[in-house]
Chain A
Amino acid sequence: MDTFQETVFKLKKYWADRGCIIQEPHDVEVGAGTMSPETFLRVLGPKPYRVAYVQPSRRTADGRYGENPNRLYKHQQLQVILKPTPDDVIDQYLGSLRAIGIDLAKHDLKLEEDNWEAPTLGAWGVGWQIMLDGLEITQFTYFQQCGGFDLELVPAEITYGLERLTAFLQGVDSVYDITWAPGFKYSDVRFADELQFSVYNFEMANVDRLWRLLGEHEAECKELLAAYPKYPDKHRFPVLPAYDQVLKCSHLFNLLDARGAISVTERVGVIKRVRDLAVGTAKLWADQQSLSQEPA
């Protein structure tokens, strides 16, 4: 039986062998692997790209103080982007399952329709949840639009829920019982994280300050977006830092939401604020890319 990290190594090796760059996680809080600039920005424009990375993803409202065996404030996604999508993409994906020791002939595999939409990112796609013996182990999406742009090269996004997948492989009922590394359980590595962030997110995060921070990061991002048109040397322009500000805003929104601090009327408005920043940044990125033959 492989440990959690061994499974991650194998998946990374598998995709590296198929031409993927192995990236490290983005170092700003995100709600899903899709929000990493490695996906959100790289899928735009005409340049092919192939990347795989583990992205710790924070869903503040899903925190359960470490008490629920399947629900986590922060879970690990292994995200693969193949742009453009190879014709045998599903066979390649099935190969990755074999690579982590799943004998598919002994299991029941189904692709069940599951479309994906992220209004705050101006993004949507169609695809499936991939079910193995009744368990959703992967989300598979053909992106159609991102940041409000129709995509020129349709990428496939393959997202493995690593906790679920390894709990299945190791035959344990609680994610906390997953063996992460020899002698270390998932709970040894992550329990304190789950407990303390649940306490913070639900009970102690300072709402007023979170609102202020949201305003500050939004202002920073807007200022950058506004500066772009007149900025002389566009290659130097900090689009990526602007995008980090979008991510900050998105995370602060999630925190405020988990604190129950966003009223219904405010909610729609805040989502729109974040979306405007995301779409605005995507535009700049696309424009900047189109100006250059060299990779930025």
Chain B
Amino acid sequence: MSLDFLLEIGTEEIPHWMIPSALAQLQRFDLLGATPRVDASPRRLVVQATGVPERTPDREEILKGPPVASGEKAAAGFARKQGVDPCEMKVNGSHYELLKRIPGRVAAELLADSLPSAILGIQWPKTMYWTGGKTGPRFIRPIRWIVALLGDQVIPFEIAGVKSGNVTRGHRILGSSSIPVTTANYEAELRRNFVILSSHERRHKIETEASKLGAKIDSGLLETLTFITEYPTAIRGDFDPLYLELPAEVLTTVMRHHQKYFSVYGINGALAPNFVAVMNTSGDPEGIVKHGNERVLKARFNDARFFWNVDQQKKLVDRGDDLAHVTFQAKLGTYLEKTNRVVELVKELGGNAHAQRAAELCKCDLTTEMVKEFTDLQGIVGGLYAKAQGEPEPVWRAIYEHYRPLSMDDSIPETSEGQIVALADKLDTLRGCFSVGLIPSGSKDPFALRRAAQGVVKILVEAKLDYLLDNLVAGDLRAFMQERVQYYFREVRGYKYDEVNAVLASGVSTLADVEARLAALASVRPTEDFEPLAAACKRIRNILKQAHFEGDGPLDQALLEAGPERDLADRLTSFTMAGEGDFFNRLIAISAFRPSVDLFFDKVLVNAPDPAVRANRLTLLNKLFTEFSTIADFSEIVTSGEQKP
């Protein structure tokens, strides 16, 4: 017989951003073969399942006993030790053996044993202890109740002094704090107590209601709100249109980052004097919550207006010296020093006068009240101030966008000045940190160097800049950047790992060039000649390697044997002559070598008895390999039938 399963770990409010990863871990809980169905709200992590066996099946095991030579007495002793009647001993060849029946276990007992450690084994970015001192159990927040049911029975266990049972709790304010449940009525009981367990349903409810109220849905914020509420309800509030004089960037930042509100836009696409807030309750019939949120937002906007006005009293350009009081990093000095380095680097990279001016001003907004209050707006505020203070457009835009890309999804700066300043700023951070040993390890990356490195790669590729990465970075940083390059092309751009390896192995070039070669390689790959040729390349590489071949001399035409060998050599000569061409066509042309290569391997013995002939054949293969490898090293391509490493 199989049973329904319910586990609810009741906690105090879990940080919203940690919940998805916890759900992924719950999904891997071992429920004796049943598939877990997981969901969560800020106060509960839930695993449900159907078809959990009531007990695990009995098993039989053959145990090898003493040798026949040692006699029946030894055999009987062995059997008794195993709890089996000695007459069940059998002879198998030279040894006794017996069949032992191992009874299955009751699922509830098994789960009672395994669940506590599975629950406490969930990995969190930061944990706490709350009982039993430093050696007490650790979790993300205190566990306050546990529901654990298999069928209609409680699975009995205890964590941090909390005993499992069948009693859940509803919404903090609107629900009961003691609700007996069964596996069948659990979700309905929660709903009656103002908890929507399904995060999918909460997300949908927020999205629908907020859209209806005119909100522009921001997916990141939607996700946050889904995991910060148990019973989300959207309401719309208003603010004085006078605040629309402030830049939209400032208003939306205040609304999104500080208040978790969606912005509302008018028909003309301009920001409207409204917002949509998502409550963790069922309604606001008297408008009390709306009024409260409006009041908070007004105070926030007043602050922002105050900051804007105060900041205008000192121009960005006059703030340069103040950067001497802002630490960039203890070992790397101040932002003034950083600014000077970035300006120099922009010059080295060939940045024009606008880019240099932008580099000079780009960190000055760190001393403004606006950025001290709204740190997410660094750069953006500097750009807006520079614009208000009459800097030319290329300058203020470069300042505005020089922190971009902030993530892999974010776009790179649009202006060439912005690209160069962004590149110089990130490179300086990377070089500086690596030079004083601040190198990211594992999950530790306090200076967001991976993000900076990823930004450098993204800018170099997408802006098609001419710099060679290896000229920009050295030492450990070079290896670190190479990892980021691989990551970018694989995870962000979706190229296969062997394609990336193949292109990167074929020599130094700009990342934009790598991208173009990858694109060509990926489109040629499905054609019929490609993979067999790649396999042939691998064979060539192995032959050269085994022969320790290092010759680089000319091919001796006289030693070429008529037939497949000469044909291949002639083809190669004319191909070399063909010279340049776009990557795609060149790859097609290389693929077209396949019949000649196959025929060569079929008919010609590379390892010829005459050393001169052998050397000449190796020379031919080496030239072929070198020629083919200008776009990608095909021997890196994993062909069908091979295992991934």
Interfacial residues, chain A to chain B (CB-CB below 8 A): 68-70, 84-85, 87, 90-91, 94, 104-113, 115, 125-126, 128, 132-135, 142, 144, 150-154, 168, 171, 173, 260, 263-264, 267-268
B contact residues, range: 35 or more
Q: With the chains together, A104 CA to B171 CA distance in Å? A: 12
CB distance from A142 to the nearest CB of B (A): 6
A interface majority secondary structure: mixed
Chain B CB within 10 A, most for which of A69, A111, A115: A111
Chain B CB within 10 A, most for which of A84, A87, A108, A151: A108
Q: Is B247 an interface residue (CB 8 A)?
A: no
| Contacts between the two chains (Cβ within 8 Å), count | 109
Q: With the chains together, A268 CA to B327 CA distance in Å? A: 10
Identify which of residues 478-517 in chain B touch chain A, using a CB-to-CB cut-off of 8 Å: none
Chain B residues with Cβ below 8 Å from A111 are 12-13, 42
Say which one of B29-37, B295-303, B387-395, B457-465 lies at the interface with A: B295-303
- A70 contacts B299, C-beta separation under 8 Å: yes
- A113 contacts B15, C-beta separation under 8 Å: yes
CB distance from B461 to the nearest CB of A (A): 35
Chain B residues with Cβ below 8 Å from A94 are 172-173
- A133 contacts B280, C-beta separation under 8 Å: no
Q: With the chains together, A108 CA to B171 CA distance in Å? A: 12
CB distance from A87 to the nearest CB of B (A): 7
Q: With the chains together, A115 CA to B141 CA distance in Å? A: 12
Q: With the chains together, A115 CA to B302 CA distance in Å? A: 27
Q: Is B334 an interface residue (CB 8 A)?
A: yes
CB distance from A4 to the nearest CB of B (A): 18
Chain B residues with Cβ below 8 Å from A151 are 133-134
Chain B residues with Cβ below 8 Å from A135 are 292, 295-296
Chain A residues with Cβ below 8 Å from B177 are 91
Chain B residues with Cβ below 8 Å from A108 are 277, 279-281, 284, 289, 292
Chain B residues with Cβ below 8 Å from A263 are 324-325
Chain A residues with Cβ below 8 Å from B141 are 126
Q: Name 19 A/B residue pairs within 8 A (Cβ), A-sorted.
A: A69-B299, A69-B302, A70-B303, A84-B131, A85-B142, A105-B173, A105-B174, A106-B289, A107-B289, A108-B280, A109-B173, A132-B292, A133-B293, A135-B296, A142-B130, A154-B129, A168-B292, A264-B327, A268-B330
CB distance from A77 to the nearest CB of B (A): 19
CB distance from B308 to the nearest CB of A (A): 14
Q: Which 4 A-B residue pairings sit nearest by Cβ, starting from the closest?
A: A133-B292, A113-B15, A108-B279, A111-B13
Besides A106-B288, A112-B228, 18 other A-B contacts (C-beta < 8 A): A90-B12, A94-B172, A105-B173, A107-B281, A108-B281, A110-B229, A111-B42, A113-B13, A113-B15, A133-B288, A133-B291, A153-B133, A154-B128, A173-B298, A173-B299, A263-B324, A264-B326, A264-B334
Interfacial residues, chain B to chain A (CB-CB below 8 A): 12-13, 15-17, 42, 126, 128-131, 133-134, 141-142, 144, 172-174, 177, 228-229, 259, 277, 279-281, 284, 286, 288-289, 291-293, 295-299, 302-303, 306, 324-327, 330, 333-334
Chain A CB within 10 A, most for which of B17, B173, B291: B173
- A109 contacts B296, C-beta separation under 8 Å: no
- B277 contacts A264, C-beta separation under 8 Å: no
Q: With the chains together, A104 CA to B334 CA distance in Å? A: 48
Chain B CB within 10 A, most for which of A85, A128, A144, A154: A154
Q: With the chains together, A264 CA to B338 CA distance in Å? A: 14
CB distance from A176 to the nearest CB of B (A): 13
Q: With the chains together, A126 CA to B177 CA distance in Å? A: 24
Which residue on B lies nearest to A153, using beta carbons?
B133
Chain A residues with Cβ below 8 Å from B296 are 133-135
Chain A residues with Cβ below 8 Å from B133 are 150-154
- A87 contacts B144, C-beta separation under 8 Å: yes
- A142 contacts B128, C-beta separation under 8 Å: yes
Q: With the chains together, A133 CA to B260 CA distance in Å? A: 12
Chain B residues with Cβ below 8 Å from A69 are 299, 302
Residue in A68, A126, A128, A260 whose beta carbon sits within 8 Å of that of B128 in the complex: A126
- B130 contacts A173, C-beta separation under 8 Å: no
CB distance from B525 to the nearest CB of A (A): 46
- A144 contacts B12, C-beta separation under 8 Å: no
Q: With the chains together, A264 CA to B130 CA distance in Å? A: 37
- A154 contacts B131, C-beta separation under 8 Å: yes
Chain B residues with Cβ below 8 Å from A115 are 126
CB distance from A286 to the nearest CB of B (A): 14
Which residue on B lies nearest to A172, using beta carbons?
B295
- B325 contacts A264, C-beta separation under 8 Å: yes
Chain A residues with Cβ below 8 Å from B42 are 111
Chain A residues with Cβ below 8 Å from B142 are 85, 87, 142
Chain B residues with Cβ below 8 Å from A171 are 295
Chain B CB within 10 A, most for which of A133, A135, A267: A133
Chain A residues with Cβ below 8 Å from B286 are 106
Chain B CB within 10 A, most for which of A84, A104, A107: A107
Which residue on B lies nearest to A85, using beta carbons?
B130
Chain B residues with Cβ below 8 Å from A84 are 131
- B173 contacts A110, C-beta separation under 8 Å: no
Chain A residues with Cβ below 8 Å from B299 are 69-70, 173
- A134 contacts B130, C-beta separation under 8 Å: no
Q: With the chains together, A132 CA to B172 CA distance in Å? A: 13
- B293 contacts A128, C-beta separation under 8 Å: no
Chain B residues with Cβ below 8 Å from A106 are 284, 286, 288-289
Residue in B15, B17, B128, B291 whose beta carbon sits within 8 Å of that of A144 in the complex: B128
- A144 contacts B292, C-beta separation under 8 Å: no
Which residue on A lies nearest to B224, using beta carbons?
A112
Q: With the chains together, A126 CA to B139 CA distance in Å? A: 12
Given the contacts A85-B130, A153-B133, A134 and B292 also touching, CB distance less than 8 Å: yes
Chain A residues with Cβ below 8 Å from B330 are 268
Q: With the chains together, A163 CA to B16 CA distance in Å? A: 29
- A144 contacts B173, C-beta separation under 8 Å: no
Q: With the chains together, A229 CA to B391 CA distance in Å? A: 64
CB distance from A6 to the nearest CB of B (A): 21
Chain A residues with Cβ below 8 Å from B17 are 113
Chain B residues with Cβ below 8 Å from A87 are 142, 144
CB distance from B565 to the nearest CB of A (A): 71
Q: With the chains together, A106 CA to B281 CA distance in Å? A: 9
Which residue on A lies nearest to B161, using beta carbons?
A87
Chain B CB within 10 A, most for which of A84, A109, A168: A109
CB distance from B309 to the nearest CB of A (A): 12
Q: With the chains together, A85 CA to B173 CA distance in Å? A: 21
Chain B residues with Cβ below 8 Å from A125 are 128
Chain A residues with Cβ below 8 Å from B324 are 263-264
Q: With the chains together, A133 CA to B295 CA distance in Å? A: 9
Which residue on B lies nearest to A109, using beta carbons?
B173
Q: With the chains together, A105 CA to B172 CA distance in Å? A: 10
Chain A residues with Cβ below 8 Å from B292 are 107-108, 132-135, 168
Chain A residues with Cβ below 8 Å from B12 are 90, 111
Q: With the chains together, A130 CA to B104 CA distance in Å? A: 50
Given the contacts A91-B177, A113-B15, A264-B327, A154 and B293 also touching, CB distance less than 8 Å: no
- B228 contacts A110, C-beta separation under 8 Å: yes
Which residue on B lies nearest to A110, using beta carbons?
B280
